[in-house]
């Protein structure tokens, strides 16, 4: 896919994998709108990327807030008239999450609100702008922890990571990917779930095997897919992930 005049929105782009996705998309020639909920953090991220000569701007975006989402969509429509790439990256974990027998239901609700409902709401708000693109891509940041198959497979490295709220939120994101890809299959919009790998960020307490730069590579690849590429898939760095 040619990057010329392409516009991308990356949610949660002020740090971690989102910041690196924004950097790599901008390095590929895409103009990147960083969705950031905190103005000060937005300024730091924009300064970081702009100092490298990259074409970026920030828009205030709290994916838990309908008015914020609507204002971000309006801002992109007014400035750019369309959106070519939506990377639904913003996401949370919660210290009170855990195995289903003991996790706080309130924590599970908080996680589902942001990771699933927020992602759904942003996608719906950006859909009219994505339809204005001749070749649009939606990348949903999922996790291998959202795989129902791997959660039930004692041989999987993810088997023991029982976080009912987080894992369910990413399974729900995967459902969004499948249903949205089916709904949009006669359009120019491709939708995929990407698990970035185990990445050292604030979300993982800086544990993990990969740097944020490495973790951004697969989401960026799926954001820049060619026209004849796949839609409705779930991938991780090692290949296709079972649902």
Residues that bind ligand NAP (CB under 6 A): 11-12, 14-18, 37-38, 41, 61-64, 89-92, 114, 118, 141, 143, 195-196, 198-199, 201-204, 208
From CA 180, how far away is CA 192, in angstroms rounded? 9
Q: Do residues 125 and 150 make contact, with C-beta atoms less than 8 angstroms apart? A: no
Q: Which of residues 161 and 230 has its CB atom nearest to ligand NAP in the complex?
A: 161
Give the alpha-carbon dihedral of 198, 124, 81, 28, to 10 degrees.
10
Q: Which of residues 66 and 185 has its CB atom nearest to ligand NAP in the complex?
A: 66
Q: Do residues 243 and 149 make contact, with C-beta atoms less than 8 angstroms apart? A: yes
Q: State in angstroms the smallest separation of the CB of 191 from ligand NAP.
A: 16
Concatenate the DSSP letters of all residues of 115-142 into one string: IIIIHHHHHHHHHHHHTTSSSEEEEEE-
From CA 231, how far away is CA 177, in angstroms rounded? 9
Q: State in angstroms the smallest separation of the CB of 45 from ligand NAP.
A: 9
- Sequence-distant (6+) residues with CB within 8 A of 212 are 16, 17, 19, 20, 199, 200, 201
198 is an active site residue: no
Q: Which of residues 89 and 151 has its CB atom nearest to ligand NAP in the complex?
A: 89
Q: State in angstroms the smallest separation of the CB of 79 from ligand NAP.
A: 20
CA distance to 34, 62, 185, 207, per residue, from 200 (Å)? 21, 23, 35, 5
Q: State in angstroms the smallest separation of the CB of 213 from ligand NAP.
A: 11
Q: Which of residues 156 and 187 has its CB atom nearest to ligand NAP in the complex?
A: 156
Q: State in angstroms the smallest separation of the CB of 134 from ligand NAP.
A: 28
Q: Which of 158, 159, 166, 198 is catalytic?
A: 166
CA distance to 109, 120, 225, per residue, from 15 (Å)? 24, 21, 24
Q: Which of residues 37 and 162 has its CB atom nearest to ligand NAP in the complex?
A: 37
The residues annotated with a catalytic role in the active site are: 166
């Amino acid at each position: 896919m040619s990057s010329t005049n392409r516009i991308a929105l990356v949610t949660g782009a002020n740090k971690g994998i989102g910041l690196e996705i924004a950097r790599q998309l901008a390095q590929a020639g895409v103009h990147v709108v960083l969705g950031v909920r905190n103005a000060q953090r937005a300024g730091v991220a924009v300064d970081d990327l702009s100092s490298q000569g990259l074409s970026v701007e920030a828009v205030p975006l709290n994916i838990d807030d309908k008015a914020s989402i609507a204002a971000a969509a309006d801002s992109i429509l007014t400035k750019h008239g369309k959106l070519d790439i939506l990377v639904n990256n913003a996401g949370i974990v919660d210290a009170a999450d855990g195995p289903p027998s003991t996790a706080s239901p309130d924590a599970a609700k908080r996680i589902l609100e942001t990771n699933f409902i927020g992602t759904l709401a942003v996608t719906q708000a950006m859909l009219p702008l994505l339809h204005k693109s001749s070749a649009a891509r939606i990348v949903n940041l999922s996790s291998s922890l959202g795989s129902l198959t791997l959660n039930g497979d004692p041989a999987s490295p993810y088997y023991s990571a029982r976080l009912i709220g987080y894992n369910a939120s990413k399974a729900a994101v995967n459902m969004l990917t499948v249903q949205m890809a089916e709904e949009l299959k006669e359009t120019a919009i491709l939708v995929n779930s990407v698990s970035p790998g185990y990445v050292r960020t604030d979300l993982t307490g800086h544990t993990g095997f990969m740097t944020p730069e490495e973790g951004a590579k697969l989401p960026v690849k799926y954001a820049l897919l060619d026209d004849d590429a796949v839609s409705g898939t779930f991938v991780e760095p090692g290949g296709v992930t079972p649902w």
